[in-house]
Structure formats: C-alpha cells, structure tokens
Amino acid sequence: MRGDRRQPDPRLVALAVVVVLAVAAVPFVASTYVVTVALRMVVLSLFALAFNIVFGAADMPSLGHAALFGTGSYVVGLGMVRWDWPFPLVVVAGLTAGALLGIVMGIATLRTQGIYLLLLTLAIGQAVWGLAFQQVRLTGGDNGISRIDRSVLTLGTDGVVGFYWAAVAVVAAAAALLYWFRISIVGTTIEAVGMSPSRLRALGFAVGSARITAFGVSGAFSALAGMLMALGNRFVSPENLAWQLSAEVMLFAILGGASWFAGPVLGVVLVIGTEVVVKDLTDRWPMVLGGLYVLTMLFLPDGVLGALSRRRRDSGGGPDPQPGRDPGPASDVSRGRDSGVATNTGATT
Amino acid sequence: MSFGSLLFLLASGLTLTFGLMRTVNLAHGAFYALGGYIGLEVIDRTDSWGLGLVVAVVVVAVAGVVVERVLLHRLLGRELPQILLTVGVAWIIGDVILAVWGGRPRTLPRPPGLDGVLRLGGLTFPWFRLGLVVLAVVVFVVLERSLATTLVGARIRAAVDDEETALAVGIDVPLLFAVTFAAGAGLAAFAGIWGGAFTGLRPGTEWDILLLALVVVVVGGLGSMRGAFVAALLVGVLDEFGKWLFPSFALFTLYAPVAVLLALRPRGLFGREERVA
C-alpha cells in the first residue's frame, strides 16, 4: 500500500454507478414478476458482499452465515408483527442483533481455521435455526411469520416497485459502505490477516480482533440483507436461517470470484438467473443447483472473474481488475494458504 | 442407547472417509437415503430383506467410487472445493430420489427375526433396538480391529499419516482413497437400511441425517473411530434427555453444546492434534 490509503478503483465505481442506474430502471421496462426477481438478486447481492468480508477477505469459510441473515429477518418479523415496534427501532435492533451474533461467531471461532471453523459456524447456525424452528409460540415454527408490512419502506411510489427502489437505494448505500470498509485500514488489515495470519501476528497486528471485526461487520450487513428479504417477501420462515442458504452464499462468492469485491454479485446474478429460467422449464431445480456446485468446484474454483483474468493475462495481459490485490492463479480461499486451511491438511502433506 | 447405536452406524462411514481423505463428505446423508430407498425397492419386489441390504450397500458403494474417481479426486488436497462439491452431489442425489420415489414418507420393514420384545422382569426391550446396539458394537469392533491389524488397515493408516511417503514405498494411495470412499458410502447405505426402519425416510432425510452424523463426528473428533463411538452414545443420551427436559429447546440443546465444545476444543473429544507442516 506504500503507506498511503488505498483509493477507490475508479473503474469499479463507474461500473457500480452504471449497474445501480440499470437496476433502478428495471421497473420502467419490465413486468412486476421481473421486478420481484431483480429484488431477490439485489438483496442476495448485499448478503453475498457481506459474506465475502469473512470469506474472501479474511479467508474464513463460514457455513453459518444464514444465521446472521435470518436473525435480521426474524427481528423484522418479531418486531413488526409480534411486538408492534416502531420501524426505526426494528432497524436498529436488527443491525445490532446481526453484529452481536457475528461477534459471538468471531470470538467462538478464534481458535479454529479451515474445516473446523466451517463446522463450528455450522453448529452455531444450526443452534439458531433450532430456536426459530422450535419456539413455535414466538416464531410460528415451520410456518414462520407472515403479514409483514413492507409499506414502511418505500421510495417514489407505493407497492412492490416503491419497495424495490427503496431496497436498491439501501443496498447501493450499504455496498458503498462495505467497499469503503474493504479499502480502509481495518479492511486492509483483515485482508492481510486472511492472507497470512501467522505473519501478521508476528508483525504485531491484533489478528484476533481483526477476525472478530470482520465477523461483526459482516453480521450487521448480512442482517440488513435479511431484513430487506423479510420485508420484500412480507414473510419469514426458518428457511431464512437454513444452512443450505449458508452453502449457497458461499457458492455465489466462489462462482463469481471471491477474490474480487464485486465477484459475489456476479455469482448471485448467475445462480438466481439460472434458477428462474430452470424453474420455468422443469421442477428439477435442485438437480441443476447441485450440478452448479459440482461444475463450479471442478472448472471455476476462482470464479468467472478468475477465469476471465487468467485468460486476459495469458493473451498479453490486461491490468488487474482490482489493484492492490493479486488475484493469483487460483483463489487463496479455495487452495488454503499459509497456516489457514493448510494447517488442517498438515497430516496429509 | 439404540438411537446412539444408530448414530454410530451413521457416523462410522463419515469418520472413515474423513480420517483418510480429510474430506467432510456432505453427501453422506444422501448416500444414507439412497441406500434406504434402494433397499426398500428391492425388499418390496423380492420380499427378501437380506437381498435388499446387499443390493443397497453394493449399489451405493459403487456410486461412491464413481463420485470419488470422477469428481472428488480432481480436487485432491483442496478441502473447501471438495466439501462444496459434495453439497452439490447431495442436492443431485436428493432430487433423483424425489424424482424416482416421490415425496411420500416411507418406512422400511424391520429385519426378519427382530420383531417383538424381550421381557426382563418389568422391563421390555424391543428386539430391533437391542439388535441395533449389538450391531453398532460389532461394526465398531470390526472397523477398529481391521484398521489396527489388517494389511489394508495398516496401509490406510500409513496414507493418513504421510501420504507422500506411503506413495513412495509403493502403496497405491489413489486406490485406497477409492476403496475407503466406497466403504464410507456403503456404511451410509447400511445405516440407511436400519435407520429407515427406525425413523423412516422422507424428502429432507438426507440433510437431517447428515447434520446428526456431523454432530457425532465432530464431537468425537474428526477421523477418530473410537471418538465417534463414544460421541454417538453421548449424543444419543443428550438428545433423549434434551427432548425430555426441554422439549421446545431440543434442537438448541443438541447444537449449542456442540458449538461450545468445538469453540473450546476444536479437535473434539478424541481428535488428535494435527501436525503443522
């Protein structure tokens, strides 16, 4: 970083402005059905970006992120439908709950890496899921909480389009904040910790607090995405907490390219886009989703962006898509680097 | 006890494959369900429980070999992609099961000769449950002994400890991987035949069973057969007491202690400290 602060990448900012304008224009040119699909993509994009703070930046393969997402959803459901809280209180409570649960996860996983971190976050996520599933009187159990009023959050007009524009605005602002966080000193430290925890520890950095910060920030933004999802669907159920969602957000990040800030968004568009097309044709979507997992791991372990940049480099080499970060031949996350995942393979190497 | 025994049958295959391949096979529950449904189909058609068991175990073991050779082996040594790949395999198998057998919950017949109950004083023990306990002990002893005393077991342990040296002294490690994965998948199918008679089969069974098996394996310590055995009985008892004492917190009382244990002792009860390369 040459001692300077990292500056925003102007091309990424320009791209983001174009994308946000294009996404905001969807209701003018497409049907309500397309708007609901786009809404889902926008909300999951925020979730995937938040997840990637822990995954792509800090190199911690969490399989419990649905718990953070779903916590936001349930705060909306419980606060608005069960307890009649004012909306601002719901927002504050949701963000706080997400951040706190994230911090708990961060502290609990301090001693773990790789597979063990994955399994521990999974166990925490399942404990939260179990609460939502079995506290039937409060959460409605499997039936969830319905009749959430989304008219509290609209922009420009009423109905689904108004909520859509509000969600796009919230997600755009949140994504900008996340980007600012990634290139801040703290974010840079987190990225460095992800690359080489032992080296950073030797240099005197507080590795543990960097990891906890990553989880806390990721938790708050994941919960924000979960809140938008509950409002958008006017419904929350244990599915918002299911670990399959945690696996799917990891698929988003890897398929797009976890080493890039915007990679997870690309993954969301690809997976959800495929889902919409496939579900229209057949009811064998789980099989196709399974195939996507398999094909991504076999052929695109660094994601679409990773494959593109390697191609570009092979044919004369364009500039890196994100300065300040060498994407390398393969995503660090998928290879396991330094003492991270590699520690756990110790016995076999 | 009997639930704990079933848990051990579930977890034994998973811990076997992890022990050798450092892969958490998240398709384990799908292999279990596939074994259960294949067994059910064969038993329905031939009326022979034994044939159902054999066909299910063999077919699923072969499926395991195919998954290992065609897919997993290309990602050797890369844990996270392997894990997510098995998630994909689980989705595919689960959907195939749904397409072939539909969404109706089914229950396998109990093995012949294990109907009825044993009366001892005022207590009654169903034969089926006693059979499960005996079976779990037998499977545990066979696995533990064969890993400890047979040549294949020695080779597996050698490959676990130091894959490169094992290769260098002429042990066919890729073959061992395929065999172990087949054994793990076969054990899952075997557990599926018994578990299908115990708790039944329905869509989603593949995930429920996977999570239970994972709990047992991580509590016992990844890769430790003895740990899996102790943890299975422990989790079985914990689960029973949890359901009895706090019925509306049963899932929470299952997962929360696991999370606490893992946070404090990431290697589980019997997991060994791994060498840092």
Cβ–Cβ below 8 Å for A291 and B92 = yes
| Contact of B3 with B237, CB cutoff 8 Å | no
Mean pLDDT, chain A, integer: 85
The pLDDT of residue A323 is above 80: no
CB spacing of A346 vs B78 below 8 angstroms: no
Give me the residue from A114, A244, A334 closest to B81, CB to CB: A334
Interface contacts A/B by beta carbons within 8 Å? 169
Please report the DSSP string for A238-287 in residue order: GGGG-HHHHHHHHHHHHHH-TTSSSHHHHHHHHHHHHHHHHHHH-S-HHH
B55 HSE (CA, 13 A, CB side): 16
> Inter-chain contact A61–B80, Cβ cutoff 8 Å?
yes
Q: What is the pLDDT of residue B206?
A: 87
Q: Which of A254, A294, A345 sits opposite B22 (nearest CB)?
A: A345
Closest Cα of chain A to B26: distance in Å? 11
How many angstroms separate the CA atoms of A172 and A150, rounded?
Answer: 19
By percentage, how much of chain B surpasses pLDDT 90? 19
Tell me: the pLDDT tens digits for B135-149?
888 888 888 888 778
A223-242 per-position pLDDT tens digit: 999 999 999 998 998 888 99
Mutate to test the interface with B, among A115, A121, A274 (most CBs of B within 10 A): A115
**Chain B residue closest in CA terms to A104:** B263
Over residues B235-246, the mean pLDDT reads 76
pLDDT(B261) > 80: yes
Neighbours of A156 (CB within 10 A): 12
Average pLDDT over chain B, rounded to whole? 83
The yes-or-no verdict on residue A335 having pLDDT over 50 is: no
- Judged by CB atoms closer than 8 Å, whether chains meet at B79 and A345 is answered as yes
Q: Give the model's pLDDT for residue A1.
A: 44
What integer pLDDT is reported at residue A4 of this predicted model?
62
pLDDT digits (tens, 9 = 90+) for B208-217: 889 888 888 8
Closest residue in chain A to residue B215, using alpha carbons only: A123
Q: What is the Cα–Cα distance from A285 to A274, expressed in whole angstroms? A: 9
pLDDT for A97 equals: 95
The Cα A204–Cα A110 span in angstroms is: 17
Is the pLDDT at B240 greater than 80? The verdict is no
Instruction: Answer with the residue of higher pLDDT: A153 or B253.
Output: A153
Q: Do B178 and B62 contact (CB within 8 A), yes or no?
A: no
Number of other residues whose CB lies within 10 A of the CB of residue A21: 11
Nearest residue in B to A59, CA atom: B80
Rounded CA separation B188/B206 (Å)? 11
Who among B78, B251, B262 is closest to A119 (CB)? B262
pLDDT, position A5: 67
pLDDT band for A316, please (50, 70, 90 cuts).
low
Q: What is the model's pTM? A: 0.87
Q: Which pLDDT value is given to residue B270? A: 75
**Cross-chain residue pair A123–B218, CB shorter than 8 Å:** yes
Would you place residue B170 in the very low, low, confident or very high pLDDT band (cuts 50, 70, 90)?
Answer: confident
Amino acid at A35: V
Residue A256 has pLDDT above 70, yes or no: yes
Structure tokens at A211: 């990891």
State yes or no: pLDDT of B179 exceeds 70.
yes
Give residue for tokens 């063999």.
Answer: B58
Is B206 an interface residue toward A (CB < 8 Å)?
no
Asked if residue A234 lies in contact with residue A309, where contact means CB atoms within 8 angstroms, the answer is: no
pLDDT at A320: 46
pLDDT single digits (tens) A54-92: 998 888 999 999 999 999 999 999 998 889 899 999 999
Interface membership of B123 toward A (CB under 8 Å): no
Distance CA B19, CA B147 (A): 11
Which residues from A are below 8 Å from B75, CB to CB?
297-298, 301
Q: Give one DSSP letter per residue of A20-39, joined into a string.
A: HHHHHTHHHHS-HHHHHHHH
SS3 A307: helix
Question: How sure is the predictor about B237, in pLDDT bands with cuts at 50, 70 and 90?
Answer: confident
> Residue B24 pairs with which residues in a beta bridge?
none
User: Nearest-CA neighbor of B181 among B211, B151, B154, B156?
Assistant: B156
Q: How far apart are CA B217 and CA B222, in angstroms?
A: 6
Does the CB of B88 have a partner CB in chain A at under 8 Å? yes
Distance from CA of A255 to the nearest CA of B (A): 11
Q: What is the pLDDT of residue A339?
A: 34
Give the chain A residue nearest B162 (alpha carbons): A348
B40 and chain A in contact, CB less than 8 A? no
Decide which of A25 and B23 is more confident. Answer: A25
Question: What does the pLDDT read at residue A90?
Answer: 93
pLDDT (mean) for A161-180: 93
What is the CB neighbour count within 10 angstroms for residue B250?
20
pLDDT-derived band at B52 (thresholds 50, 70, 90) equals: confident
Please say if the pLDDT value at position B72 is more than 60.
yes
Residue B73 or A229, more confident: A229
Please state, in angstroms and rounded to a whole number, the distance separating the CA atoms of residues A150 and A231: 5
- Nearest CB among B87, B91, B266 relative to A116 is that of B266
Residue B106: strand pairing partners: B201
User: Would you call B248 an interface residue with chain A, using a CB distance cutoff of 8 Å?
Assistant: yes
- In this predicted structure, the answer to whether residue B246 has a pLDDT above a threshold of 90 is no
Would you call A118 and B277 a contact, using CB atoms and an 8 Å cutoff? no
Between chains, do B75 and A341 touch, taking CB under 8 Å as contact?
no
pLDDT for position B108: 84
Going from the C-alpha of A182 to that of each of A3, A5, A176, B8, the distances in angstroms are 16, 11, 10, 45
CA distance from start to end of chain B: 40
State the pLDDT at residue A266.
Answer: 94
Answer yes or no: are the C-beta atoms of B182 and B7 closer than 8 Å. no
Question: Is residue B273 very low, low, confident or very high in pLDDT (cuts 50, 70, 90)?
Answer: low
pLDDT per residue as tens digits for the range B115-168: 776 777 777 777 777 778 888 888 888 888 887 788 888 887 787 777 778 888
The pLDDT assigned to B1 comes to: 67
Average pLDDT for A33-42 = 93
With beta carbons less than 8 A apart as the criterion, state whether A188 and A180 touch. Answer: no
> What ranges make up the beta strands (E) of chain A?
145-146, 235-236
Q: Token pair of B167, please?
A: 């290769």
Instruction: List chain A residues with CB under 8 Å of B264.
Output: 111
Closest-CA distance, B163 to chain A, in angstroms, reads 5
Please list every residue in chain B whose beta carbon sits closer than 8 Å to the beta carbon of residue A109.
263
CA-only gyration radius of chain A, Å: 20
Contact A238, A138 (CB under 8 A): no
- Return d(Cα B58, Cα B38) in angstroms, integer: 10
